[in-house]
Amino acid sequence: MFSILVLVALFLSQVHGDLIIKPSGTSLTRDQYKSFVASCSGQSNSRVIGWRSPQQRDIPENEHDRVTIERQSNEIRLRIRNLTTEDQGTWECMGVDSTGQHTRRSFQLMIKVPITFHGESVQYAALDEAVTIKCHVQATPAAEVTWFKGQDKTRIDGPYYSRVSEGLRINRVQMSDNETFWCRADVLETGESRDFPITVVISKSVTEPRITCANPCAIEKKTATLVCEATGLPPPKFAWYYGSDSPVGASEVPKFVVRGNQLTINYVDETDNGKYSCHAYNEYDNKGHRAEYNLNVIVPPRLSPIPPVEINLDEHHPQRVSFVCRVERGSSESLSLEWQYLNNTPIQITNGIFIDKAQLEAHKLIELRFDPVRREHFGNYSCVAKNLADSSYSIASLYIQFQPVFVGPDINIVSTIPNYRVVMRCQFESYPPPQIQWIKMSRTVQDPEGRVLAVDVDNGVNDITTKQLGSTLFESVLSYTPNEHDFGLSFECRALNPRVGRHSYTLQRAEPPKKIRITEVKPLTNGVEILVQPPETGGLPLTEYIVKYSLTDKADEQPQTLTIPVQTSSDDQQQNSQVLKIEKLKPSTSYRFTIFAKSRAGTGQQTGPSTFRTLDRQIPDFKIVKIDENKNETCFNDRSCLIKWSIESDGGAPIIRTEVLYAKAKAENSFETDGPISTPVPIDPSISEYEIHDLKPATNYIVIVKIYNEAGAAEQKLRITTLKEKSGSMTATMNPLIKRYRQNQPSKWVIIGIVLGIILFAIAFVAVCVIIRVHRLGGKNKTTDSDNQTTPMMTATNGENNSQQNEYTNGHPSKKPKKKKATTSV
């Protein structure tokens, strides 16, 4: 009892001397980022001084601080806003008692931190290297960390992975690690568990980039495209710079266009020259690499105009002319200058033409020199400049004045006959363009130098035309119809520019053609082909060949005459051989013939008699058309087959008729028939095909084609095979049976009559039945007075009593006894 009193006294003294903290408890747990407040008060014999943090720092009173104190009448409150891990620890409340001794009271504050992951959700791992996947877990109480892989969250174990403090270490990264890893944190004290997915991307550093561009890369006023080539995992990104790190990108004016690894520069000019660089990087290799490219804009060449030169040619004093081709503007890279003719053929140093390229490199010019100048040098020359960008040209014109020069045709005699139009033509080279006249050299008193001919003025002049054929080539054509007095005269073609050039033609009377030369005679069965070479025409073109022929053994008979027009395909008739054909001759017969040519000047010399003998008649030559000569012909149907043939020769006599026969084949690869041959089918000689019908499916046949002429018959055999039977063939076979069945059926009118008879009989039968029924009902309905009386009747049958039944007759109830059955006793 005494001990209890001592304990109570000690407790009371302790209570009166200690500080009181609220909330009570020596260990408190609060959530992170929450607010917290605690109160410390003294008792009657104690006073509160302040609060001290776990860092042994006295807390000041400042309402704007996150941690502050608030003084009340007999207490000091500790207020913490937004709890953090720094606030975790022992907080002390300090005071003094009545004797001046310091007292303190404390509590342990635990900050509960939820599971928090610190790490990137996407991390890059270099292939074939050791990489740590970083995942730092912050939690209070401490969390237990485990790792999983893939969408199915397979637990990670094995020698390829190891856990380290920073996370999970992959000892050697493989392509299978391109997956989602899961960092799992479990706090067993609180039961909290969370998973943090980390996508691992297999990566490679960016390779050294390389900038490429088409050749030529940049041409003035066109588009240049630079391509930066680099590889890496993930695929690299690209940034473009100009000069010293000046970014190149899209602008309001679409001068520069960046699309991925391409930089496009539109409408480039010389201001775009310079150094361009490409920076290639990716998420794994942020530093990346750079490549540089020096852009040189190529300017197309532009030539100075070349003034034309015109001189008067002096045949006695040599003259010299030169043209200078100069590049006004253009890039020197791959620059070339060349003199060409207008047909793009390079000019060769020959015939007084020289090309000087000594100043090409220094002054970008070349010289074309003519020394001495000749008439042939007249014309236009092209100076062509080329570089990588483009080409251009400039024309140099050399005009040479010279005397007209006759160039053709090189003939002096023109032949014709009176009143037959003759054409004379002359060609001159001249500059300046000449005036061409035709002069008839019939000197008279009025025209001692000859008469200048004019259309519609001089007799015989049909037309005079003059035209320009080339730069210095001119032609004049005179169409003239002579009379008897014109033969022997000269006609002069005169060109004036104002110097004179002339050429004369002598008009003479044409002669008949000379003798024809026979080069080959080719007899046929019913004709002959004669190859002849045209004779000398005598000045006028040939019009026809005349062939006279007759039988050799009948020399006294009048020969037959055949006129064949002359075929002309070129200006030189001497080179035009022609085949003369005589047809409708008798076979195996000897003939003789003569030939002569004819023109407007008359009939030519006749050839000596020539003989030939026609060939004997033969049977026709033909062949059957087959798809494959080495195989049997397969028909395209199961019951018919199309046979075609081509006639190579009729044998010298017209074909009279054609026949087709066929029969079944005996053996598989032979032409022997199995059974009788069909009746020959006559076919018109002009037809070369026939379709055989009514064949059996999947059957081999031998087809015989015969072609007749007067000499006999030619025969060819063909082996054919029909196709297997088709479903449609069954229908075709059944059609005749169906038609035959329908023919045996009665007419539709007979069927209609039978049906009508049945209907009429049924109507009559029904009518009779109705009449009989009506008659019977009429007899039952007749009544008398006695019918309305009821008569009770007793009927006894075998000692049984039958009860009465009520019936209604004519609407009145009546008792109708049943009839009494008679009994028979034996």
Task: List pLDDT tens digits, range 558-617.
Answer: 889 999 999 876 555 445 789 999 988 888 889 999 999 999 888 888 888 899 998 887
CATH of domain 2-113: 2.60.40.10
Confidence (pTM) = 0.49
pLDDT at 630: 57
C-beta neighbour count of 192 within 10 angstroms: 15
640 Cβ contact partners less than 8 Å away, ≥ 6 residues apart: 691, 692, 693, 694, 695
**Correct CATH for 621-728 of 2.60.40.10, 3.40.50.300, 1.10.287.10, 2.20.28.120:** 2.60.40.10
Amino acid letter at 736? P
Question: In angstroms, what CA-CA distances link 186 with 115, 153, 156?
Answer: 8, 16, 16
Return the domain boundaries, the chain: 2-113, 119-203, 210-295, 302-401, 409-509, 517-613, 621-728
pLDDT at 777: 72
Task: Point out which residues pair with 428 in neighbouring strands.
Answer: 406, 474
Q: Is 139 exposed, middle or buried (0-12, 13-18, 19+ CB in 10 A)?
A: buried
For domain 409-509, the question of CATH label 2.40.30.10 is answered with no
CATH of domain 210-295: 2.60.40.10
pLDDT tens for residues 89-128? Answer: 999 999 998 888 889 999 999 988 888 899 899 999 998 8
For domain 517-613, the question of CATH label 2.40.30.170 is answered with no
Please give the span between the terminal C-alpha atoms of the chain, in angstroms, as a whole number: 142
Radius of gyration of the chain (CA): 66
| 119-124: long-range pairs with CB below 8 Å, 24+ | 119/167, 119/183, 119/196, 119/198, 120/198, 121/196, 121/197, 121/198, 121/199, 122/198, 122/199, 122/201, 122/283, 123/198, 123/199, 123/200, 123/201, 124/200, 124/201, 124/202, 124/203, 124/234, 124/283, 124/284
What's the token pair of residue 201?
């991307």
Helix (H) or strand (E) holding 729: helix 727-744
Q: How far apart are CA 142 and CA 185, in angstroms?
A: 9
Q: How far apart are CA 735 and CA 729, in angstroms?
A: 10
- Given a cut of 50, the residues of the chain with pLDDT beneath it are 1-17, 573-574, 729-733, 780-826
Overall residue count recorded for the chain in this entry: 826
pLDDT at 637: 81
434 Cβ contact partners less than 8 Å away, ≥ 6 residues apart: 404, 428, 474, 495, 496, 497, 501
pLDDT at 454: 92
Q: Is 743 left (phi over 0), alpha (psi -120 to 50) or beta?
A: alpha
Q: Is 218 exposed, middle or buried (0-12, 13-18, 19+ CB in 10 A)?
A: buried
Q: How far apart are CA 22 and CA 817, in angstroms?
A: 123
**Correct CATH for 302-401 of 2.60.40.10, 1.25.40.10, 3.40.462.10, 1.20.120.330:** 2.60.40.10
Q: How far apart are CA 810 and CA 783, in angstroms?
A: 9
**Correct CATH for 119-203 of 1.10.1200.10, 2.60.40.10, 2.50.20.10, 2.30.30.170:** 2.60.40.10
Helix (H) or strand (E) holding 139: strand 136-140
Q: Say whether 621-728 and 517-613 share the same fold.
A: yes
